[in-house]
Amino acid sequence: MASLSKIQIIGNLGRDPELRYTPNGRPVATFSVAVNQATKNQQTGEWIEATDWFRVSVWGDRAERSAENLRKGSRVFVDGRFRTREYETNDGRKGMSLDVTADNVIGLDRRDQEGTFAGAPGAPAGAPGGPASGGGPASGPGGGFDDTEIDELPF
């Protein structure tokens, strides 16, 4: 019987992607993504925000494009497979890591007037806003259309 381990997250990069190459020359980029969730305390009515951190690895051309286009703070959509991994720190504490192997990584930040990306400090001017996955023309939730094209639609 087949199994499925699939995850989709939207969050912000906690650090710049780190690009490395395997001994065979295959690129791999790793970065962490913070996903915030707010829940309401039923007794006090106060909103409590919790952050889950995911360690993301992306391979091949997608890795190189992620390293070129994403920066700490970038808002991203990640689609891939996940697994949990237990570890022990140097001081003996145990922890659990949520590891994602990305099939697709799509930057969700919009360009500002200077051509850089809002939410992506230090992004190079004119950096592409499309998906880091190279999976097609879609550039996030707009499906590949910028605001100018949407404003000119007849309906």
pLDDT band for position 117 (cuts 50, 70, 90):
very low
**What is each CA distance from 126 to 14, 129, 148, 150, in whole angstroms?**
23, 9, 17, 21
Q: How far is Cα 53 from Cα 48, in angstroms, rounded to an integer? A: 17
Q: How far is Cα 43 from Cα 144, in angstroms, rounded to an integer? A: 44
* pLDDT at residue 111 in the model: 55
> Smallest Cα–Cα separation from 35: which of 75, 82, 89?
75
Mean pLDDT of 72-81: 96
pLDDT band for position 8 (cuts 50, 70, 90):
very high
Domains annotated for the chain, with CATH where assigned, are: 7-151 (2.40.50.140)
- Model confidence pLDDT, tens digit, residues 35-50: 999 999 999 999 999 9
Q: Beta-strand (E) ranges in 60-132?
A: 75-88, 94-107
